[in-house]
Amino acid sequence: MRYLPLNEDDRAAMLARIGVSSVDDLFADIPDDARLGSLIEGLPEHAGEMAVERHFTALSKRSLSAGEAAFYCGGGAYRHHVPASVDHLIQRSEFLTAYTPYQPEIAQGTLQTLFEFQTQVAQLTGMGVANASMYDGSTATAEAVRMAVRITRRNKCVLAPGLHPHYAQTVHTSANGDKIEVNVLPPAMGKDLAVVDKLDNDTACVVVQNPNVFGELVDLTPLAEAAHAAGALLIAVTTEVISLGLVKSPGEMGADIVAAEGQSIGNGLNFGGPYVGLLACKDDRKFIRQAPGRFAGETVDASSKRGYVLTLSTREQHIRREKATSNICTNSGLCTLAFTIHLALLGELGLRKLAGLNHARACVLADRLGTIEGVEILNTSFFNEFTVRLPGNAAHAVEAMAKSGVLGGIPASRLFGAGEFDDLLLVATTETNTDDDDAVFEMALREVL
């Protein structure tokens, strides 16, 4: 077996040194009737690289990948170009095969990149500080709600009608154990301001997504003012972080906590994971002490050289156990690395241009699709994703387009369930699309309608 270095001579010598006659003597504590006498049933025996690769390649071919199609799906996961150097760098052994940086003297690579990541996230969101990442945007949102409940010592939260339904469900499930009252406003376009009517003296936070799940841009400023006037916090959610290159940051609009999906920068679609959750908040000790997850912080070593450590760990489960701010242990280490490298390659100039390009492509596409008879663009504003009303069932249209190699968006019913939104299609585009792709999409949509 290519991954196992011991040979039979080694094993025999080691058993002799231990003083047992067979390896099964080391498993003597397993109850007799629970011991497996033979190999695990139902599984094949070992396989070489070629055999495994053949199997995986055959499976892979059974899916239509985004790169093979004209591709217009978004809904919380976006296909952007990731420079080749990003994937090369994250595969360096020293990053790929390192553990959590608990021994800072020999983990400065991971720690410094985390510190840089935290800084970039704080800059991007316009917030004071950011943590070293969460699993993804949806779990970051759920953690942000729990954090707001601890900070305000109130137990209600209000979720805006434009919040991604998966996010709303995640918040709802996560609040269940904690007896947090979750008020989910029914999904609707153009109604995010309605959260203001639900504010009361027990409200810990309102959660508003921008751009929202329909792709609309939401001015958070009046929401922040109303929340603050009621003693509540505003949690701003973003599922498409590239938008922050062009759109006012949540910090500038008064958000107290930001939860975002960072996948768009540095990370591929990967069928939904692993992604990278961003969590940023005000630079206020009251907030930071209630934050979940890891923080890297700057300090000095014994010879006064600058260095980085994981810090403020007394909030975390390995020290605080049942009183921890969260049970989270793992972060999205390697995905944060991909994020920070890609964003470093982009820089201020590149991110702004990339965001501008995404918006421009969406504007061009909206104009193009708007010329189709019976197709209505519902958004008045958007970044790189918008909602289209079709003259029929959107799920059927999407299935039909897929047969001709076009992945033409996400039917709203996939997210909201069948019913009210059956004729709505969420369409996203990015810098990866060209005018030719748009023309293919347009033609396919005309054909299926």
Residues 237-266 that bind another protein (CB under 8 A): 244-249, 252, 261
Using rule CB under 8 A, residue 64 touches another protein: yes
- Give residues 176-235 in contact with another protein (rule: CB under 8 A): 176-179, 216-217, 219
Q: Which is nearer to another protein, 362 or 445 (CB)?
A: 362
Q: For strands 70-71 and 406-407, give the pairing.
A: parallel
Q: Which stretch binds another protein (CB under 8 A): 183-191, 193-201, 225-233, 362-370?
A: 362-370
The piece of 43-51, 183-191, 192-200, 229-237 that touches another protein (CB under 8 A) is: 43-51
Residue 123, Cβ neighbours under 10 Å: how many? Answer: 16
Q: Per CB under 8 A, which of residues 93..152 are in contact with another protein?
A: 93-101, 103-110, 112-116, 118-120, 122-124, 126, 128-130, 132-133, 135-139
Q: Which of 190, 231, 254, 274 binds another protein (CB under 8 A)?
A: 274
Q: Confirm or reject binding of residue 430 to another protein (CB under 8 A).
A: no
Query: For residue 436, which of 70, 122, 130, 13 has the smallest C-alpha distance?
Result: 70
Q: Which is nearer to another protein, 256 or 431 (CB)?
A: 431
Stretch 397-426 residues interacting with another protein (CB under 8 A) = 398-399, 402, 407, 410, 414-415, 417
Could you tell me the smallest distance in angstroms from the CB atom of residue 200 to another protein? 22
- Quick one: how far is CA 26 from the chain centroid? 43
Please tell me the distance from the alpha carbon of residue 205 to that of residue 227, in angstroms, as a whole number.
Answer: 7
* Dihedral Cα 214, 368, 67, 387, nearest 10 deg: 10
Please tell me whether residue 249 adopts helix, strand or coil conformation.
coil
Query: Measured from the CB of residue 13, what is the shortest distance to another protein in angstroms?
Result: 7
Q: How far apart are CA 251 and CA 253, in angstroms?
A: 5
Distance CA 28, CA 7 (A): 23
Looking at the Cβ atoms of 202 and 416, the one nearer to another protein is 416
* Residue with tokens 């005018």, as numbered in its chain: 435
Count of residues touching another protein (by CB under 8 A) = 218
Among residues 8, 21, 61, 186, which is the contact residue for another protein, using CB under 8 A? 61
Q: How far is the CB of 203 from another protein (least distance, A)?
A: 21
Strands (E), 396-439: 406-407, 410-411, 424-428
Q: How far is CA 88 from CA 57, 82, 91, 266, 342, in A?
A: 22, 11, 5, 12, 12
Binding of residue 436 to another protein (CB under 8 A): no
- Write out the binding residues for another protein, residues 292-331 only, by CB under 8 A: 294-303, 305, 307-309, 311-314, 316-324, 326-331
Smallest distance from another protein to CB 372, Å: 18
Nearer to another protein by C-beta: 6 or 229? Answer: 6
User: Any bridge partners for residue 407, and if so which?
Assistant: 71
- Nearer of residues 206 and 337 to another protein, judged by Cβ: 337
Q: Which residues pair with 261 in a beta bridge?
A: 277
- CA dist., res. 62 & res. 59, Å (int): 5
Residues 342-361 touching another protein, rule: CB under 8 A, are 343-354, 356-357, 359-361
Give me the least distance between CB of 325 and another protein, in Å please.
9
Of residues 7 through 36, those in contact with another protein by CB under 8 A are 10-11, 13-15, 17-20, 23, 25-31, 33-36
Lookup: tokens for 324: 């921890």
Q: Which of 66, 184, 230, 443 binds another protein (CB under 8 A)?
A: 66
Quote the CA–CA distance of 252 and 96 in Å, as a whole number. 36
Residues forming beta bridges with residue 260, ordered by sequence position? 238, 278
Q: How many residues does the chain have?
A: 449
Q: How far is the CB of 154 from another protein (least distance, A)?
A: 15
CB 423, CB 391: distance < 8 Å = yes
Segment contacting another protein by CB under 8 A, of 83-91, 186-194, 196-204, 223-231 = 83-91
* Helical (H) or strand (E) element with 71: strand 70-71
